[in-house]
Amino acid sequence: MSELKIGWATRNISTDKPVNIPGQFHMRISKGVRDPLLVNALLIDDGKDLVVFLSADLVVIRSQLLDEVRAKTAKLVKGFPVEKIIMNATHAHTGASHYADGTAWSQTATGSSTPAPARIPHEGIEIASSDEYRDFLSTQAAEAIRDAYNTRAPGGVAYGYGYAVVAHSRRTVYFDDTSLRPDAVGGNGFRVDGHGVMYGNTNDDNFSHYEAGADHFINLLYTFDAQGKLTGAVINVPCPSQNSESDWQLSADYWHDVRVAIERRFGPIHLVSQCAAAGDLSPRILHYRKAQTRRFKLKYGDGDNRIHERKDIAERISEAFAEVLAWAQKDIRTDLPITHVVKTINLQRRLISNDELAFAQREYDKLKDEPYKTSGDTPQNLLVYNSKLEAQRNRFQRILSRYATQQQSPMLPMELHVLRIGDVAFATNRFELYMDYMHRIQARSPFAQTFVVQLTGVPGADGGTYLATERGVADKGYSACLFCNLVSPEGGQQLVNETVTVLKDIYTEDGV
């Protein structure tokens, strides 16, 4: 028998310092904290193998962060198998920057290039060090893992799935090629549209359909102490937390509202928040906005619809949480085996063509000598203008760099985690993964439930960037273009096949 031991810890990773908020095409310097950013650690140990689920309210896990978390954990807990730490970002676009201060530019998970503060004039605006924040963040995360390890105790798990409408497709498709329209705006490097457009206008005579549907499953793994009391849960939702994505205050976005709603019903339990594959999904409704505005007006009164969206989502997730718990807790398991495979796989890169190289060089040449603005507007507006300019240059520079090295490095390495806890499996990836890939994995998985976790950190490299499907690449548009994809659809299928192979290798018919 494999007796489970379970440990939890939660730390606040908010800061009141004015730190850069990555996730847009311009710099935002935080103006306080709307609601707390958290890092949540769950450790499950069967005496032979273990896993640490570590979720953080960040846009992405950048290089150095996971390495620092693992290194600090190794110092705090001697002999700890740090390669078994799975750290994922909730993809909140209102998390603090942990990007290295000295880098010329930073590529976020969304494909937007967030410039480093040192490169941008910011007279009159204080910007705290992201290096200092990363040190604080990695220390909090490592100490949370230590606390979870030291307090682990016999317990059990239960699992199930429910339904919660959170995500909607964010890629619109048109009968015509939008790049050929007389009023089409192109060449700025931010949008490379075709028949597909990210967040396109649905009130358009040529609007045809959404490129993909949405996934309304919510996968749940509950934990209990030896007396059968609920202690926490993993909540896996295929949707990024992007209702408040353009705010200038730090926020966990809808996950904060989820935590509040669940605590109101179940008390102060711990929650690991996971974003399942959702590269082409978001919490925004595009074609039913008038109806949504009326709904929120009558339901919540006047106010910010983005905050109302968060409350609405939290109600649905907490209802699903309660509904599934009611029947899942009839089957609490305390003696399940854990098998946690960690391996490096190599995925086919999305290669830059000669025509794309010429396009990038041409546009970069137009921008490289364009000066920053240093007067004539408010300090904040100047920062926005100058950081957009730098981000635009950075995007074209990155294409030039990728072309120069792609022949010597045609494959992208990725740390893959595939884990079983009895008859439940987890599979990770570093991308904003399009939904179809998740369905391919889940459909072929032999396990009763398979939790796919996107935007997990990888050692020694940056996480993030979209991984678009074949139909996404054909439709074009932001998230499916040269700027956004480091891996090709062929590489995406390699990810599916590699994941399924490991799932089948570790599966046993009786779950033990």
Res 510: pLDDT: 72
**In terms of pLDDT, which residue wins out, 444 or 185?**
444
User: At residue 189, what is the residue type?
Assistant: G
In the chain, pLDDT over 90 holds for what percent of residues?
A: 90
CA 342 to mean position of chain CA atoms: 20
Can you tell me the distance from the alpha carbon of 298 to that of 148, in angstroms, rounded to the nearest whole number?
A: 43
Instruction: Give yes or no for residue 16 having a pLDDT over 70.
Output: yes
The pair of structure tokens assigned to 448 is 């009763």
Confidence of residue 103 (pLDDT cuts 50, 70, 90): low
Res 461: pLDDT: 81
Can you tell me the distance from the alpha carbon of 286 to that of 279, in angstroms, rounded to the nearest whole number?
A: 16
Res 425: pLDDT: 98
Give the tens place of pLDDT for each residue, 53-91: 999 999 999 879 999 999 999 999 999 999 999 999 999
Domain locations in the chain as residue ranges: 5-167+212-346+411-506
Instruction: Give yes or no for residue 3 having a pLDDT over 50.
Output: yes
Can you tell me the distance from the alpha carbon of 44 to that of 4, in angstroms, rounded to the nearest whole number?
A: 7
Instruction: Give yes or no for residue 493 having a pLDDT over 50.
Output: yes
In the chain, pLDDT over 70 holds for what percent of residues?
A: 95
Mean pLDDT across the chain: 94
Res 184: pLDDT: 77
User: Could you tell me which of 485, 497, 367 has the C-alpha nearest to residue 430?
Assistant: 485
Quick one: average pLDDT of 171-188? Answer: 84
Instruction: Give yes or no for residue 485 having a pLDDT over 80.
Output: yes
Instruction: Give yes or no for residue 192 having a pLDDT over 90.
Output: no
Can you tell me the distance from the alpha carbon of 69 to that of 155, in angstroms, rounded to the nearest whole number?
A: 26
Res 42: pLDDT: 99
Is residue 509 within 8 A of residue 203, CB to CB? The reply is no
Give the tens place of pLDDT for each residue, 201-212: 999 999 999 999
Instruction: Give yes or no for residue 286 having a pLDDT over 50.
Output: yes
Is residue 231 within 8 A of residue 6, CB to CB? The reply is yes
The pair of structure tokens assigned to 409 is 């490095």
Can you tell me the distance from the alpha carbon of 168 to that of 91, in angstroms, rounded to the nearest whole number?
A: 16
Give the tens place of pLDDT for each residue, 106-158: 444 344 455 555 578 888 999 999 999 999 999 999 999 999 999 999 999 99
